[in-house]
Amino acid sequence: MRHTRTARTALPTALLATAALTALLTPHTAGAAEETPRLGRCAAGQLCLWEREDFQGPRRTHELADTDIESCVPLPRGATVASLANRTGRPVTTYQSAECAETGEFDTYPSGSWAPRSPYRVRAVKIWEN
């Protein structure tokens, strides 16, 4: 009878110890989830540009219907972008220069890209044919 009682308490104790060890060894993800920016609203077919990082602030949108393909599209004077989403179905290049000059910083984002923090203030964009 004594053997059965030990077996009954040993199993729950072992399970409890395993759960505690798993909790210690598993990385805590709650803080990481809080640091991950929430994606901004951007419809299919749009290039969405936000004034601030993490898809915050006023949003400016461009669509293929109202944007010349492979042409430099400067933002209004004084406006800059810190985060963007490319859902145009085409690659988009962002430029630090308002004239799309390649002497400043520039990056190309494939369709489906979400960039919560641009490495520079974007002042112009170009949507490519493909």
What are 66-101's pLDDT values in tens digits?
899 999 999 999 999 999 999 999 999 999 999 999
% residues pLDDT > 90 (the chain): 66
- Give the predicted TM-score (pTM) of the model: 0.70
Q: What is the CB neighbour count within 10 angstroms for residue 111?
A: 17
User: How far is the C-alpha of 25 from the C-alpha of 2, rounded, in Å?
Assistant: 35
3-state SS, 39-56, equals CCCCCCCEEEEEEEHHHE
User: How far is the C-alpha of 108 from the C-alpha of 79, rounded, in Å?
Assistant: 20
Name which residue leads in pLDDT, 120 or 22. Answer: 120
Is residue 121 within 8 Å of 96, Cβ to Cβ?
yes
